[in-house]
Structure 1
Amino acid sequence: MRISDHIISEIQSRMDIQEVVSDYVSLKKKGQNFWACCPFHDEKSPSFSVAPNKGIYKCFGCGKGGDAISFIMDIEGLGYVEALKHLANKYGIEVEEEEATPDQIKEFNEKESLLILLDHARGYYKQLLWEDDEGQAIGLSYFKERGFSDETIKAFDLGYSHDKWDGFMKYASKNGFTEEMMEKAGLVLAKEDGKKYDRFRGRVMFPIHNPSGKVIGFGARILKKADNQPKYINSPESPVYYKSNVLFGMFQAKQAIRNEDNCYLVEGYTDVISMHQAGVKNVVASSGTSLTREHIKLMSRFTQNVTTLFDGDVAGIKASMRGIDMLLEEGLNVRAVVFPEGEDPDSYSQQLGASAFKAFLEKNSEDFIAFKTHLYLKDAGSDPIKKAGTIREIVGSIAKIPDAIKRLVFARECSQLMDMDEAVIVAEMNKMLIEQGQQQQKERERQQTRQRLDLDNSGSATESSPDAAISTLEKPEVDPKMIQERESLRLLLNYGQFVIKGTEEVDQLLADYFLHETDEVHFSHPVYAQILDMFKNKLVDGDVIDADYVLKHGTEPMKKEVIDLITERHEVSHHWTEKFDIKVNSERNDLKGATYANIVRLKLRTVRAVIKENLDKLKTAETEAEQVEIMEHHEALKKVEMGLAGILGVVTVG
């Protein structure tokens, strides 16, 4: 189905890039823009910029950029239509769809189809829980016995699956879904003979949502005793569900995590739900899988502070230490809470009640170094060998922290807790940091070797010339003319509608003046040329386009280039003028001069490109007459070059 043009226009007029991005990333204002660590790649220092006045985002690290629609497409892995629907739902816009042609129907990609199917499954299991006799008697009764309220059950979309082999299959088939699609979504299984049956049978259902609320999979707990059945099963990985990327409860918790600036990390579904009901809503779970860097990256979109919750089992806590070390490596601030022996977040929250449980978490939360030191010292007792191992274990965690100041603070705390000379702790930490650096250097060398071999296999470089491979990777050839073309478009996009003193000091639009003066100059870069043509075509109608127009009507390559052109990584603080009375020159103060200089540079670099082409012809000239003609042309071009260079005060070689 196709969304009507007037609905698309309404969505574009209503969407706010800051609001949209804030659903996924904690933004901090700096100057006119907002900044954060990029959600699309790993980084420690923020290089991801959101410009509300321009309606765009741009990462100066990985290069991703776009408007609110493209952000949703990238962050959720959605197609254009589904991204529009997502934004329409956010802003309460009713989507009117036009009848699609057969070709348009085929364009619906696999992910969108799977998401639609999984949402139907969510509704099916939820309906069984609330309206079916079996669902009420078994599923709903179980949730009530766990102490879950109706409000909590509905907030997490909990459901129930019939104890039948094909209950869901029949329902989904009636609604037009194929068995192949059901299998791909992980909702049915196939026997050796090819016959399919429901994966989830006789279980309470825990839908797993992505951060925007789309159901991407399910966890399910069996309620009957069955020797050959595991207590919990999960959806298998699919094109929309990757266990290492998903945290259970993140959709329900993200706003609370942002508000509290802290994320509680637990193990299971019921831990999350019970804590949520107890009023602690900033909680997520890794859902039975080991913590991954993707999990940590997801949490860090909303906060830099994570508190891990453990039951009283020492062996289990030690097994989870790798996860804490990973959190530290990613630069997050880590605290921990240990529950009394035999208790977990689910049982203890219900035992204490909401207010007492919150008080317990606040009182018993301690930073990771104190937590780990107390835990390991208690286990080591008076054994000197174990104590030495404990010191190395704790210092090893400190060494993983990327911030040098934090490392030194924790080293001092460690020395005090363990009654040891701080210098000994620091020396051991520095030794570990050197070892880490050596390992990282070896890994970089291995990666460079792999890259050289890849280039060799593709014919781009040879193993005998590794420097050529590195040069190809790190030093791409830059075309001076294309750089000037890019600068020309930057001026047009930012100032095209400004009035300047143009030809013969007559008031002109900057775009009109520029295009008139460069009428015979042709852009080499194909995307730049498309944008310039868009300017020319609209100017014929008396309209001057801007970046917003290209972002709405241009192709994806055009949009990407425009975002790069109008996004500035640095901006001058207003304090320079307001507080310190320091005058900062701006190109806005002399747009005529900036435009004129750019026109001359563009012409100069265009002439130099023609000179190079002309000399290349000389190499292949077959007759003396051709050579004479080329040299005469060369001399004429050099005169033009020298004239243009003289205007700019640039020295040229004859």
Structure 2
Amino acid sequence: MRIDEATIERIRQSADIADVIGDYVSLKKKGANLWACCPFHGEKSPSFSVSPAKGIYKCFGCGKAGDSIRFIMDIEGLGYGEALRHLAKKYGIEIQETQLSDEQQLAQNERESLLIALNYAKNYYQNNLFQHEEGQSIAYPYFKERGFSDKTIRTFELGYSLENWDAFTKEALKNGYNLDILVKAGLTILKQNEQENPQQNQKTFDRFRNRVTFPIHNVSGKVIAFGARILKNDKSQAKYLNSPETEVYHKSNVLYGIFQAKNAIRTKDVCYLVEGYTDVISLHQAGIENVVASSGTSLTIEQIRLIARFSQNITVLYDGDPAGIKASLRGMDMILEEGLNVKLVVFPEGEDPDSYVQKIGSEAFVEYIHKNASDFITFKAELFLKEAGSDPFKRAELIKDMVGSISKIPDTITRSVFFQKTASLMQIDEAILITESNKITLERSKQREKDNQRDANRQRLQNDLPAGVTLSQPTSQPNVNFDDLPSFTEEDEFSGFPTDFVPSTNTSVSNTPANIPPNNKVIPTGIALQERECVRLLVSHGVKEVDPGVAPGVTLMQYILSEIDGMNFTTPIYDTILQMCREKFIQGIVLDTKFFIAHSNPTIQQEAINLVTERYAASEAWLKHEIIVPTEDDKLADLAFQNILRLKKAYNEQQMKDLMQKLAKTSDANEQTHLLGLFMEAKQIEKEIAKELGTVVGR
């Protein structure tokens, strides 16, 4: 089924860009826009801009841009249709759909199918827990013994997988789920010999059979995987079992409890990081909701960056196990390197966050954290100084380790403060610490250069390989030539397109390039620079009157198109947009900014957002001093006139270069006379344009 156009428009109108993105990052107001650190790439200072007035976002670091629908597609890895459904659910919009053809039905995104199957599994397991006799007698008492209320169980959507070998798989197949999808989602396992010959008596069994289940959610609340704990005392089986890596689940990118915790993390401006599922659930039930776990892995850069979307402060809550603490300290350096503030808390021996909060209660637990939270330098000193004792070599190693951690902090002032503190704690000259830090930084810089050189060599080797042959770990995407890309018409809709590119019938244009990678950037120079400015004016101001006092009713679109009638642009993306404007204008339609920034083709959409987004704005202090800054609306006629002149000037200069090249190549006297005459005409045009622009022609 396909969502109809009226429903799509309701979703666009309802999906407030700041509200949608605010679910994933912490936005701060600066001028007319909102800013945050980009969720799509690691960065220390905000370059991700959100414009509520225009309904768009743009990162000035990595170039990602789009509207609320594109954001959900990019952040969740969803197709166009599934992103619309996600937003419709968020805003309570009833979906109206039209029937898809068989070919369109087959093209449904596999990722979406995996998410649907995982959600079905979550509901099935939870139903077992509350409705099935086995779940009520075995699993439900276990959760009650852990102190979990029914409300908490439902909040985290805990469940139970029956002891029967394939109860879930049989039920899922009975309800129309595809076996291949169940296997790819990590819910069902096929025996290896049956995988080799799947046509003969396939035997399956449920991955999580006879275990309580802990659904793992992504930031938006979709179930992407499961953790499961066995209840029997069976040493032949692992106590905990997690989903395998799938298309929708990469454990290094996920934090358990992030969906339930994100708002509290943003509000409290601190994230508590614990080790286990039950630690998260117990603290949440106690009212301490800003808590997540690293989902069965050592802490990763991706997980740290996920936390950084909501807060720059992390407090790590360790169990009272010294060996485990030492093994986990590597993660602290990673947090520091990402520019976040980290504190550490250790509980009394034999206690963990789950047991301790149930033992002393939530208020005392929070008070304990506040009193016992240490910065990483104090923490390391207290942890290792007793062990080092008076041994100078061990003390020296400890100091080097502390300096190594400090040197990873990107902020100079913060580094300086910690050098002072370390010098005081370890009774050593601060200058020596700084010298050692400089050595470490230099060694890291040299190593990065080696790594970059290795990557460059690898790329050169890849470029020398025959077509179709790639290295085992490719480092780049192939370049795409706009001119080689296919075109589409309204009749071509859905045919040959990936499922995340579904052009709307009211935005299709016959020569719109399809399947252009959204990150394919155009860097304009010369003619392209003037073409870009012309298209920027059309996209940003096309529907406005160019000069109401002189020519009322004449839009900027009409004025520019009439002045450059018959001219085609040399830059494919700009020519595409120009032709779209022309085709619609002939039909009596003047395309507005909204048309382009909501376009289904990600390249057209992103280029339009690049054109209309302003990185800098006039200071609000100027208004206090009554300093009036003219806007583009105040001088549209001048902007359009000058752009048209510069555009014609750029084309004329190119023509002059071409004529000179032809003159140099020909020895025919008549041809030379003809070319020279054309050159002199172009030279005269150059003088006339320069006069209009107020510039000087050199010769």
Question: TM-score scaled to structure 2, two decimals?
Answer: 0.87
Q: How does 1:24-35 map to 2 (within 5 A)?
A: 24-35=24-35
Instruction: State the shift of 1:128 in Å.
Output: 0.2
Work out the percentage of aligned pairs sharing the same amino acid.
53
Written as runs of structure 1 = structure 2, the 5 A alignment for 1:106-121 is 106-121=106-121
Matched, 1:521 2:571: no
Question: Which residue does 2:84 correspond to in 1?
Answer: 84
Q: 2:684 aligns with which of 635, 639, 654?
A: 639
Uncovered stretches (5+) of structure 1, i.e. residues with no partner: 460-474
1:238 CA drift (Å): 0.6
CA displacement, residues 13-54 of structure 1 (integer Å, 9 cap, x when unaligned): 111111111111111111111111111111112111101100
Q: Secondary structure at the match of 2:71?
A: helix
Residue pair 1:521, 1:606 contacting (<8 A) in 2 also: no
Partner of 2:82, secondary structure, is: helix
Q: Distance in 2 between matches of 1:554 and 1:121?
A: 33
Cα deviation per residue 1:331-371 (whole Å; 9 max; x = unaligned)?
A: 11001110000111111111112222222222211222211
CA contact (8 A) 2:56 2:597 kept: no
Structure 1 residues 542-593: Cα deviation after superposition (integer angstroms, max 9, x where no partner):
54322112233563322111000001111111212324x4454544433222
Rounded to whole Å, the distance in 1 between the matches of 2:91 and 2:261 is 20
Q: Which amino acid aligns with 2:6?
A: H
- Aligned partners of 2:154, 2:600: CA distance in 1, in Å? 43
Amino acid paired to 1:496: G
Q: Does 1:373 find its partner at 2:391?
A: no
Instruction: For 1:134 and 1:510, locate their aligned partners in 2 and report how far apart those are by CA, in whole Å.
Output: 72
Task: Give the Å deviation of 1:482.
Answer: 1.4
SS at match of 1:24: coil
Superposed, 1:477-556 pairs within 5 Å as: 478-501=524-547, 508-540=554-586, 542-553=588-599, 555-556=601-602
The 2-side partners of 1:339 and 1:250 are apart by 23
Q: Which runs of 5+ in 2 are unaligned?
A: 195-202, 468-520
Q: CA deviation at 1:385?
A: 2.1
Amino acid at match of 1:157: E
Q: Check whether the contact 2:271–2:292 (CA below 8 A) recurs between aligned residues.
A: yes
Q: Deviations over 1:45-90 (max 9, x none)?
A: 2111101100000011111100000000000000001000110111
Deviations 1:201-239 (A, max 9, x none): 110000011111111110000001112101001000011
1:572 maps to 2:625: no
Q: Is residue 2:9 matched to residue 1:9?
A: yes
Moved more, 601-610 or 27-36: 601-610
SS of equivalent to 2:136 = helix
Matches within 5 A, 1:180-579: 180-194=180-194, 195-457=203-465, 478-501=524-547, 508-540=554-586, 542-553=588-599, 555-579=601-625
Amino acid at match of 1:201: R
Select the structure that is richer in helix. Answer: 1
Conservation of the 8 A alpha-carbon contact between 1:219 and 1:232: yes
> What CA deviation, in whole Å up to 9, does each residue of 1:519-538 have, x standing for no partner?
23322222222322333344
The Cα of 1:496 is off from its aligned counterpart by: 2.6
Between the aligned partners of 1:356 and 1:477, the Cα distance in structure 2 is 58
Deviation of residue 615 (structure 1)? Answer: 4.6
Larger relative contact order (Cα-Cα within 8 Å, sequence gap ≥ 6):
2
Counterpart of 1:130 in structure 2 is 130
**Distance between the aligned counterparts of 1:517 and 1:568, measured in 2?**
27
Cα root mean square deviation, aligned: 2.2
Distance in 1, matches of 2:47 and 2:243, equals 36
For 1:193, what is the secondary structure of its paired residue?
helix
Q: Give the equivalent residue in structure 2 for 1:464.
A: none
Structure 1 contact 502–513 (Cα < 8 Å) conserved: no
Q: How far, CA to CA, are the matches of 1:599 and 1:515 in structure 2? A: 10
Secondary structure in 1 matching 2:566: coil
Deviations 1:250-309 (A, max 9, x none): 111111111111111111111111111111111111122111111111111111111111
SS of 2:229's equivalent in the other structure is strand
SS of match in other structure, 2:212: strand
Question: Residue 621 of structure 1: CA displacement?
Answer: 5.8
Aligned to 1:467: none
| Partner residue in 1 for 2:176 | 176
| Alpha-carbon separation, structure 1, partners of 2:242 and 2:178 | 21
Distance of 2:697 and 2:658 partners within structure 1:
18
SS in 2 for 1:29: strand
Structure 1 counterpart SS, 2:317: strand
Give SS of 2:598's match.
helix
Query: Secondary structure at 2:130's aligned position in 1?
Result: helix
After TM superposition, give the deviation of residue 144 of structure 1 in Å. Answer: 0.3
- Residue 503 of structure 1 contacts residue 513 of structure 1 at CA under 8 Å; is this kept in 2? no
State the AA in 2 paired with 1:47: S
Q: Tell me, in whole angstroms, the C-alpha distance in 2 between the residues paired with 1:546 and 1:377.
A: 67
| Matched letter for residue 643 of structure 1 | E
Could you tell me whether the CA contact under 8 Å between 1:502 and 1:510 is conserved in 2? no
Conserved in 2, the CA contact under 8 Å of 1:278 and 1:357? no
- More deviation, 309-318/420-429: 420-429
**Bigger mean CA deviation after superposition, 166-175 or 584-593:** 584-593
Matched-pair contact (CA < 8 Å) for 2:539–2:596: no
Q: Aligned equivalents of 2:123 and 2:667: distance in 1?
A: 78
1:182 to partner: Cα distance: 1.2
C-alpha distance after superposition, 1:473-494 (max 9, x if no partner): xx99854111101101222222
Q: Give the residue type in structure 1 aligned to 2:689.
A: L
Say how many residue pairs are matched. Answer: 638
- CA deviation string 1:497-541 (max 9, x = no partner): 333448976773322222222223322222222322333344445
User: 1:493 and 1:287 mapped to 2: Cα distance?
Assistant: 46
Question: In structure 2, what is the Cα distance between the partners aligned to 1:614 and 1:295?
Answer: 59
What SS does the corresponding residue of 1:508 show, helix, strand or coil? coil
